[in-house]
Amino acid sequence: MSEQKKYEMLLINSNPPLYIIKALRDIPEIGVRKGDKGGIIESEKNLSQEGSSWIEFDSMVRGFSRVENGYVGGKSTLSGNVILSRGTVLNSNIDGDMEIKGDIKIENSELVRNGRYYSSGIIRDSKLENCFFAKPFDIASTTIVAKHLFYGYDEVKMTGVKMFVESADMHKKMTIKQCTIETPTFYSNERLRMEHVNVRMDKDFFVRSKDVQKRSKSILIGKKNNPIRIIGESIHIHNSSIKGGSKLSGKIEIENSVIEGMNRIEMENGVIKKTKIRDFVTIKQINTEPYTINENTFEGDTVYICRKDEYVFGF
């Protein structure tokens, strides 16, 4: 005997054909009762008759999109070729060639073009294009425009990203390569690896490892012709390594770190302490505000003093 169908379709528009779904049985996993009306579909292909998947009232799934084992609620629309195999979509528009399969929640967001989401996390108040999330998260050739950056519960890797966000708050291991980031604040409290990244903040840039006993847990890497650029009101780097070409400008605080290889630091004020400075590093004070350079280790044959307010350490 075949299992009873989960819902029936009630025609509400004939051209094009649109149907409201009505539950034929209880779905206790999501609180749906027999007789409850749900959202709008174009055909039975848009919503599986099996499992606990559901489309809530005020939401629509159309085109080749299909909800197999997920939940669509609030005022959401899935169009194009979106396959929701697992996950929750709330008050969001998703349009394109996408698959969502993981413990992931998408809320108040717009996802367009191509995407694959195969992990755990939250995407909120965001606009994402051409994203790929795996375990660990891996985001490549992507534009992100968000009020709040997504929050991932596993490792995150981002390459070739343009990110314009109100705040970037990272709590897990992250690798960022060849990215442009514009945000008032950038905060990382776990291992962070940045390569050839341009970061501009109105306020704070903060990188620090939780384990202060493990020096240089975070790594910032640049090259002479493609340096990391970090410009902000306040830059805090603790327990990290800055290598191979970086330009830092603002109020600087560097502690328990290593600075090496063609780095330029322009300090409005601040402190560099308990840090190894090696190879060729330029430190320049760009105004008359007080700053401190102490308790450091300088490795190299020569210390060059260019001006009263500029010091170059190198071989």
**Segment 149-181, tens digit of pLDDT:** 565 556 777 777 788 877 777 666 778 888 788
Which tokens belong to 159?
A: 């390459």
The model carries a pTM of 0.70
Least confident range from 65-79, 130-144, 225-239: namely: 130-144
- Between residues 62 and 289, the one the model is more confident about: 62
Asked if residues 188 and 205 have their Cβ atoms less than 8 Å apart, the reply is: no
Q: How far apart are CA 118 and CA 192, in angstroms?
A: 22
Q: How far apart are CA 158 and CA 177, in angstroms?
A: 6
CA angle 160, 162, 167 (to 5 degrees): 125
Structure confidence at residue 113 (pLDDT): 86
- Rank 1-15, 28-42, 96-110, 290-304 by mean pLDDT and report only the highest: 28-42
Total residues found in the chain within this entry: 315
Beta strand 174-177 with 156-165 is parallel
The larger pLDDT score, comparing residue 142 to residue 14, is at 14
Evaluate if residue 140 carries a pLDDT over 90.
no
DSSP 77: E
Q: In this predicted structure, what is the pLDDT of residue 304?
A: 39
12: left (phi > 0), else alpha (psi -120 to 50), else beta? alpha
pLDDT tier, 215 (very low <50, low <70, confident <90, very high otherwise): very low
For residue range 279-308, list pLDDT tens digits in order: 777 777 766 555 566 666 666 533 433 444
Which residues is 219 bridged to in the sheet?
A: 193, 241
Domain boundaries, the chain: 1-91, 180-315
